[in-house]
A and B are shown apart, each in its own frame.
Chain A
Amino acid sequence: MLRDITLGQYYQADSVIHRLDPRVKLATTIVFIISLFVFDGIAGYVVAAAFLAMVIKLSKVPFKFMIRGMKAILFLLLITVVFNLFLTPGEALVSFGVFKITKEGVKTAVLMAVRLTFLIIGSSVMTLTTTPNQLTDGLEKMLGPLKKLHVPVHEIAMMMSIALRFIPILMEETDKIMKAQMARCADFESGNILKRAKNMVPLLVPLFISAFRRADDLAMAMEARCYRGGEFRTKMKPLHYEKRDFVAYGIVVCYLVIGVMAGKLMVILL
């Protein structure tokens, strides 16, 4: 179950998308997410879908892998759909007592579902094709100007990268402790919310202790390897833009223009 979360996991492959500068991928992801909320009408989403499909194809990451990431947010998706379906006021299509499904409700629900799905898959593509280190490097460089405002950009980037490194380890550990307590007949599945929360104590206490111990060890290991913050540091993989990165930026701009135009065109044509 926990293994299904693909967000934050890297899939090794040799593709154009993998080779792109992380800043391009970060910017593209942000633009893509914004575009999902800016585009209106079906035409815009068709363009977005086409764009996403193209990127996935280029990335050489199996589509199955991205879908698995969806499982983790299926619940969230369902809630969003249900809320929108029943709570949007407007022209009723069907009604069950107080609840009614409206035409507008169906429209928003579908829209939200598509947006969320695209959003998750879109960001999965980024994390699957970019190592967390590249990602944080990209972020650090993009946010570089904020250093002048005394924002600890390097530290934030380092924290993120460590967090990402330890997510799979801590998940495995959670799984292990859970099993160990289940071997002592612990029950994590039944009872009401309050009881369940209480039953989590035998899982959470050991997990926190372990996390702190790891943090302590890691800090010592980093110091032993001469880590002393961002100053003086050089980069093994410094970022510079190449031709393909500028091409990628070009494509993203085209995507935005086409998407917006398609929406407008639809309106005019209809």
Chain B
Amino acid sequence: MPIIVDHVSHIYGEDTPLAVHALKDINLVIPDGQFIGLIGHTGSGKSTLVQHLNGLMKATSGAIYFNGEDIDDKDFDKRKLRSKVGLVFQYPEHQLFETDVFSDVCFGPKNLGLSEKEVQLRAYEALKLVGLKDEYFYQSPFDLSGGEKRRVAIAGVLAMKPDFLILDEPTAGLDPKGRDEILDQIAKLKEETGITVILVSHSMDDVAKYVDRIIVMNKGSVMYDDVPREVFRHYEELEQVGLAAPQVTYIMKSLQDKGLDVSDDVTTIEEAKEEIKSYFTKLAKAKRGNW
């Protein structure tokens, strides 16, 4: 059940002097089971785009198809769409409101009109999926740490059992450890459930390690849409629009500048290490050969 974005444009404040063209003719296919990074700086249109995917915003022109159906069709059940395309906003902990963690997570499935038993089952599963310990379940969400609150908020969306999970800047404001923990948890959750995950971020470093496809947005248009390696090849163009390739790409470039024959086709520290090691192995062999 893919999501198809067909020639979608969005204009804020159309027919006012302050009109802003937030999305310009976007075409995308988002199939099942992918892990996607949606990259762009503030104002690139990435947040506007994801709000179109679950029908919170309506395209000025163009259409979005979910499971082959036009989501703006009169008969289309928007509520069902939102349960299938889960969207976790930036700083999602700001939307918590219940007196305890468990009830808050129940909010989504309850709105779907499920039975009490099913609601509780889903809430429990969702909290387990985000790795929250049992002892927090009946505490007030406001007593938890920032990272834990965020997990609760993500569970609140997961409890609706979406096929697509979109996370808008899930690491904003967290410390380095908290950031790694939440990203690892999301990767694990993706592994376990097989759902499509879209990570919205302005940091290549954050997503490079996890995703298998990167969509780069700039000024309301899709600039690149490819596997990470291919996207990072354009590191100069990325810089021009205020983005950057992962830091390791630059490290490898500086080695090349020194005349070392290493590939800059690496995206993680681990890969960089292997690349440098194999370069030195070759070097040592060549030297022995010369003797």
Contact = CB atoms under 8 A, between A and B. Distances in A.
A186 B111 contact: yes
Given A179-B89, A180-B92, A185 B97 contact: no
Interface stretch (B34-42, B79-87, B172-180): B79-87
A184 B89 contact: no
Interface in A164-217: 176-177, 179-187, 201-202, 205-206, 209-210
A155 B56 CA distance: 41
B97 A183 contact: no
Q: How large is the interface on A (under 10, 10 to 19, 20 to 34, 35 or more residues)?
A: 10 to 19
- Chain A interface mostly: helix
A67 B157 CA distance: 40
B46 to A, nearest CB: 15
A65 to B, nearest CB: 9
A183 B56 contact: yes
B250 interface: no
Given A179-B51, A201-B97, A206-B94, A185 B83 contact: yes
Contacts of B145: none
Contact of B108 (A176, A185, A205, A210): A185
A243 interface: no
Given A202-B97, A206-B95, A184 B157 contact: yes
A202 B86 CA distance: 18
Interface string B82-105: 110011110010111100000000
A181 B17 contact: no
A181 B108 CA distance: 8
A177 B112 CA distance: 19
B107 A210 contact: no
B160 interface: yes
B156 interface: yes
B97 A184 contact: no
Contact of A185 (B17, B92, B160): B160
A183 B82 CA distance: 6
Interface in A203-251: 205-206, 209-210
B109 to A, nearest CB: 9
B54 interface: yes
B15 to A, nearest CB: 10
Nearest to A204: B97
B16 A184 contact: no
B76 to A, nearest CB: 15
Given A180-B95, A205-B97, A206-B97, A185 B112 contact: yes
A97 interface: no
A64 interface: yes
A179 B83 CA distance: 14
Interface string A121-159: 000000000000000000000000000000000000000
Contacts of B156: 184
Given A177-B94, A179-B89, A202-B97, A185 B56 contact: no
Interface in B209-238: none
A182 B89 contact: no
Contact of A180 (B16, B17, B83, B89): B89
Contacts of A209: 94, 142
A184 B108 contact: yes
Given A64-B16, A185-B79, A206 B96 contact: yes
B164 to A, nearest CB: 12
Given A184-B95, A184-B107, A184-B111, 12 more contacts: A180-B89, A182-B82, A183-B82, A184-B108, A184-B157, A185-B112, A187-B79, A202-B95, A202-B97, A206-B97, A209-B94, A209-B142
Counting from the closest, the 10 A-B pairs by CB-CB distance are A205-B97, A185-B111, A184-B108, A180-B95, A183-B87, A180-B89, A202-B97, A185-B79, A179-B56, A206-B97
Interface of A: 62, 64, 176-177, 179-187, 201-202, 205-206, 209-210
24 contacts: A176-B94, A177-B94, A177-B95, A179-B51, A179-B89, A180-B89, A182-B82, A183-B56, A183-B82, A183-B86, A183-B88, A183-B89, A184-B82, A184-B108, A184-B157, A184-B160, A185-B82, A185-B112, A202-B95, A205-B97, A206-B94, A206-B95, A209-B94, A209-B142
